[in-house]
Structure 1
């Protein structure tokens, strides 16, 4: 058991399982931020949200909902994982460096952690246990 923990390389199955856990775990957590924002569109109150980069509050909120809710669902399923991570990377960068620019690090930390995880998913993709992987296998079979 100890030898397995000290291995310098991991079996690919472990990496794919870890990517599945990372994808699903981080995206479920992000949904807890995106869903309440989505519900703001259906509330009777006027939309109040931080206006980002000269965009209206409604457009800024719509972009945040797209990233935090829609893209999170895509990442959970592993559908277009790399592409779906890009809006989340942008949203978390805006949250950390624009919205919380003057706040202490402890306030930026959550956005930076999400940013780091979504950067990892941009580089790795969804792994073997994703719809992306199934689609790529079908494309390879069609070429033969």
Structure 2
């Protein structure tokens, strides 16, 4: 039997997680990369040797475009994947020597977006047409 009282709270919790996690990622990491694009090209790490441009564009997609989809609850699970990938590269490849304390923001973001990838957006979201649903 479904608990009808728990469902609205779970949906509220998922909405809060989507909104706050996405806004935090967008504000702290995404928007500075867009607004200071040229400067970011000179200091972004290039862990795979593809060049700074090819390192910055995926980061911008993951930190600007994907959070916007997650905020509105459209293609949420799919939008979490680039974020998770960028965070894993940052935490395990770019900054492998960081302690848990030094990397706590990255690990917390990884927890937030992995949770959303597992749960989906909840009911508080924009509803795409049935043929467009990927969540």
- Provide closer, same or farther for how the CA distance between residues 10 and 50 of structure 1 changes in structure 2, counting only shifts above 3 A: farther
Q: How far off is 1:46 after superposition?
A: 7.8
What is aligned with 1:36?
32
What is aligned with 2:64?
69
**1:58 correspondence with 2:49:** no
Alpha-carbon RMSD across the aligned residues, in angstroms, is 2.0
With the length of structure 1 as denominator, give the TM-score of the two structures. 0.80
Aligned pair count reads 127
Could you tell me how far apart the structure 1 residues matched to 2:111 and 2:105 are? 10
What is aligned with 1:83?
78
With the length of structure 2 as denominator, give the TM-score of the two structures. 0.85
What is aligned with 2:18?
23
Q: Which runs of 5+ in 2 are unaligned?
A: none
Greater relative CO (CA pairs within 8 A, separation 6+): 2
Q: How far off is 1:94 after superposition?
A: 1.0
Secondary structure in 1 aligned to 2:81?
A: helix
**1:109 correspondence with 2:104:** yes
8 A contact 1:85–1:122 mirrored in 2: yes
Could you tell me how far apart the structure 2 residues matched to 1:90 and 1:10 are? 35
* Segments ≥4 residues shifted beyond 4 Å: none
